Structure 1
Amino acid sequence: MFIDDGIKKRVDQFLNLSEPNMGDALGIEFTSFKPDEVKATMPVDENTVQPFGILHGGASVALAETLASIGAWLNVKDDSKTAVGIEINANHLRSVKKGSRVMGTATPVHIGRSVQVWETAIETEEGKLACISRCTLAIVDRGER
């Protein structure tokens, strides 16, 4: 796994303190953390396919929002704040069959103090674009957990 040295402390905090979540249930595995790019893979298996044996659009959106949320959070300088998704869209361009993996790569379009926009490309193992997503995130007070 690649971790940018400038955000290593923040990534360690995320990896060591996060509770089980949807990403775990879907088998999302992070492969790279950088302030301007977050990558992960996800299996296309019984947890991520729709009834016809191909990648479920909702699983693609969950991967996209997971990557965008982590990317946005890595760019929040105030520890009392966090990033939450407020809008997401996705264009599903290619089906992906059960038994393979997809790779998601999220990159920022806009990083502001109160709003961030991230784009996530989800590709097949062969490097073909399966889904493209754009997520808008609000930077909000972390509050009580």
Structure 2
Amino acid sequence: MTVKNIVEPGSTLLQVVQQVQQLSAHVRRTLNSSGPGSLGHSSPDASAPAPRPALGSGGAEWELVKVTADLRDEIEHLAARQAASDVVLTEVIVPLLVAVGPDLASELVREIRSGLNVRTPAHDERLQLMTEGYLQRSADGIEARIRAKIAGA
């Protein structure tokens, strides 16, 4: 039996990546167009941090604060979804496979180690390596449960 699994990023992750790229471009444009001292400060104050914008004052600074907060929310949602997936895998699926048949769990490990094709946005090598590392750690955990089941049997 041959199983080919493909791991692809979800739409939420893609949206977060796109928002970060847009934010980065916005900050670059703002810095390049303004430069030091263009906030209206006198020369000695040019290197001082910009004053915090008042709530509701608008402007690029407030937009940056809002976008950053939105990105933090999206990242927290992704982290929560990841934690929920981890719990389902490690506390439900793996123990069930190990209890029903260690051979099934071993097959899962083989597929994780060799049969997954990880796709990341724009062929992001860092993200791909992180994903592959996470998958290998998951396989290590499954193997540990299999060994414990066999030793206890």
Please state which band the TM-score falls in when normalised by the shorter chain.
under 0.3
TM-score (norm 2): 0.24
The higher relative CO (CA closer than 8 Å, separation ≥ 6) is in: 2
Please say which structure displays the higher CA radius of gyration.
Answer: 2
